[in-house]
């Protein structure tokens, strides 16, 4: 049975997903903001995950906005409407690269809450950031694919479809990346 894809304002079957995305891109090119919303809904996790694999977590929210604004302004320059995912992935990688080129030291603002309140409220998030920090030490290809899979919840076929990577590459990256990540997590637990 075909999967139902929900763009928020339109539901289509997976069989016609590619055609629908072409429609969304064509409409967005003409200035239809709701169509660009549809593209955002589909690709926001990919962009967030790719940036999370490349930039400090505290900077990623702003970078996601930058990437989509840039894509929104430049969508008329996209030659092939069907190539939106790969094009957006390229913009994302360039934005992460630019970020590191113009790297500025990030200064964390002091937290007004009591240390106990911070610990209680932020513990789950802190745990997630600790694991992410370990994940970020993996080689780039494994890191990106694993963030998309484990953080953003995309499946391997979805990662391939959205980023333009081949399914075989994604599968290898997931398999080898998980192996390396397990080893690193075991080492951390052994030292704890």
Q: Which positions touch another protein (CB under 8 A)? A: 9-10, 12, 16, 19-20, 22-24, 26-27, 30-37, 40-41, 44-45, 47-49, 52, 57, 61, 64-65, 68-69, 72, 81, 124-125, 127-129, 131-132, 135, 147, 149-153, 155-157, 171, 174-175, 178, 181-182
Whether 55 contacts 99, CB under 8 Å:
yes
Closest to another protein by CB, 1 or 101: 1
Helical (H) or strand (E) element with 4? strand 4-6
Least CB distance from residue 63 to another protein, whole Å?
A: 11
Least CB distance from residue 87 to another protein, whole Å?
A: 17
Closest to another protein by CB, 57 or 164: 57
Least CB distance from residue 71 to another protein, whole Å?
A: 10
Least CB distance from residue 187 to another protein, whole Å?
A: 14
Closest to another protein by CB, 40 or 84: 40
Token pair recorded at residue 76: 């008329």
Q: Residue 13: helix, strand or coil by DSSP?
A: strand
d(CA 92, CA 71): 9
Q: Identify the bridge partners of residue 6 per DSSP, sorted by sequence position.
A: 11
Query: Which residue do the tokens 């990623």 mark?
Result: 60
Least CB distance from residue 109 to another protein, whole Å?
A: 20
Least CB distance from residue 33 to another protein, whole Å?
A: 5
Query: Which residue do the tokens 């079957």 mark?
Result: 13
Sign of torsion, CA 145 49 88 42?
Answer: positive
Residue 155 phi/psi, 5° resolution?
-85, 170
Residue 95 exposed, middle or buried by CB count within 10 Å (0-12, 13-18, 19+):
buried
């Amino acid at each position: 049975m075909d999967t139902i894809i929900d763009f928020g304002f339109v539901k289509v079957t997976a069989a016609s997903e590619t055609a629908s995305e072409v429609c969304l891109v064509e409409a967005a090119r003409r200035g239809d903001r709701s169509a660009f919303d549809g593209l955002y809904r589909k690709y926001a996790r990919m962009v967030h995950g790719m940036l999370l694999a490349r930039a400090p977590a505290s900077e990623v929210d702003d970078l996601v906005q930058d990437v989509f604004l840039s894509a929104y302004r430049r969508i008329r320059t996209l030659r092939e409407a069907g190539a939106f995912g790969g094009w957006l992935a390229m913009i994302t990688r360039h934005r992460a690269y630019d970020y590191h080129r113009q790297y500025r030291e990030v200064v964390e603002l002091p937290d007004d809450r009591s240390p106990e309140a911070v610990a209680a409220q932020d513990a789950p998030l802190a745990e997630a950031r600790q694991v992410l920090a370990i994940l970020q030490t993996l080689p780039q290809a494994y890191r990106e694919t694993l963030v998309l899979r484990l953080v953003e919840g995309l499946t391997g076929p979805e990662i391939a479809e959205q980023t333009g990577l081949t399914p075989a590459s994604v599968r290898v990256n997931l398999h080898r990346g998980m192996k390396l990540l397990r080893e690193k997590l075991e080492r951390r637990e052994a030292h704890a």
